[in-house]
Amino acid sequence: MTLAVLVLVAVPVVLPGVGAQVADTLRRIAGPDAVAGIESISFRIQDLYNRTHYQLGGAQSSITFASVPVVVPPTPTLATVPTGVPQMMPVNGPVPQNATRLPAVTAASISFTRLPAPILLPVPIPSPTPTSLPSVADAAPIVAGGWQPFGPSSSGRPIMARAASKPDPTRPYAQVALVRIDLSLIRLHFVLGTQEPMAAGSTTRLQRTGAIPQTDQVPNALIAAFNGGFKTIHGHYGVYDQGTTVVPLQNNLATLTIYQNGTVRIGAWGRDVAMVSGLVAARQNCPLLLDAGYINPDVNNGSRQEWGYTIGNFDATWRSGVGISQDGRFLVYAAGPSLTVESIARALQQAGAYYAMQLDINGYYTRFATYTPASTATGHPILANRLLNQMTVPSNLYLDSYVRDFFYITARLGQKVTWAQKPR
């Protein structure tokens, strides 16, 4: 046991890929519950080190955005708020100067009840015109500097904006990278990995390339991609893709759904979203982090099973999640180290998400990439650029076969994206 803990503490820091492989090998030998316990101990040791290092005045354990081509359109002047202070964010628009900020929502301050609600129908988000809809960067700032447009633009409008947040006052060094994506300018796609997710004993035969289709690997059309959810063994969360139920969908679980008309929804399966005509893909992963703007108080119930039959929800580690704004216009991706389930939920809440869910954890599997035209021969016309310097993102990420599921985004049909400067 002691040797296993030491391996899972030291190896992932030095060799993230090897650490992930060691954990998977141990799961096959000792079972997922045993390995989850070992990982939990290792993450607590790492968290204790980070806390001690910070308290002794050492350098902060932070994230840094990687250098990629940046779009710099005119941006509005926005008021700033103190860094490191959790804030409830409005869903749309800047904060009026005379507005009063609400206190952050906590489990102790709300009553969380799963009430019946109408199924969210796949209503498409209209394509914007220069005067009809706000830009992806037009949102209240969550840190000094606010949302910064980055990556490509479409018809002069930025497709994405990024920001960083400190959602956990008990861990001031823990930062979260946030990416806000304008769904009116893109289409979201889901891809099964070559090995995951897959139900035990499944006889369903699917074409599982584990890669972005060649038809979408086109410069100035493929925009970005990010990681999916847990392996099937960690909760048997439902997956539906292209008319096939890969893993049975479970009621009341957080589910991201994609429809033929390009609509994207996040909600509780059977209450907010369901099997309807036009459904293309559905991916479940744990309960909702945010339900109608409120943090699910179950993030503090200490249940390992509820949050994925893996490490505990209080364990601080790399985590990722995805949320959607109340009007369905913006998708928000969040990722960072030293995060608990509650802190990533709070980060998504700060970013304006109305419904949100956890995605994969572990530094090796938490990935977000943008794609730029390749300036040198790489075997692909494009290459992947990592969002954070701390992320493991090879230049062929998701362009070649990958074992786990993921999402990717492309420009809407007939549109081309442009970059503000020559890709590196």
pLDDT in tens, 205-238: 677 999 999 999 998 899 999 999 999 988 899 9
Structure-block tokens of residue 333:
């991706």
**Angle at alpha carbon of residue 94, lines to 166 and 168, rounded to 5°:** 10
* Bigger pLDDT: 407 vs 364: 407
**Which of 112-126, 137-151, 351-365, 378-392 comes out lowest in average pLDDT?**
112-126
> What is the rounded CA–CA span in Å between residue 202 and residue 198?
7
Average pLDDT of span 67-75 = 49
**Residue 156 — pLDDT band, cuts 50, 70, 90?**
confident
> What is the rounded CA–CA span in Å between residue 402 and residue 200?
19
What is the CB neighbour count within 10 angstroms for residue 151? 25
- Evaluate if residue 293 carries a pLDDT over 80: yes
> What is the rounded CA–CA span in Å between residue 347 and residue 171?
13
Phi and psi, residue 49, nearest 5°: -65, -45
**Which of 196-205, 316-325, 342-351 comes out lowest in average pLDDT?**
196-205
Tell me: the pLDDT tens digits for 237-279?
999 999 999 999 999 999 999 999 999 999 999 999 999 999 9
> What is the rounded CA–CA span in Å between residue 33 and residue 416?
47
Residues contacting residue 315 through CB under 8 Å, at least 6 positions apart = 39, 40, 43, 44, 47, 340
Tell me: the pLDDT tens digits for 116-149?
455 666 767 666 665 567 889 888 777 767 899 9
pLDDT value at position 104?
Answer: 41
Residues contacting residue 194 through CB under 8 Å, at least 6 positions apart = 208, 209, 210, 401, 402, 403
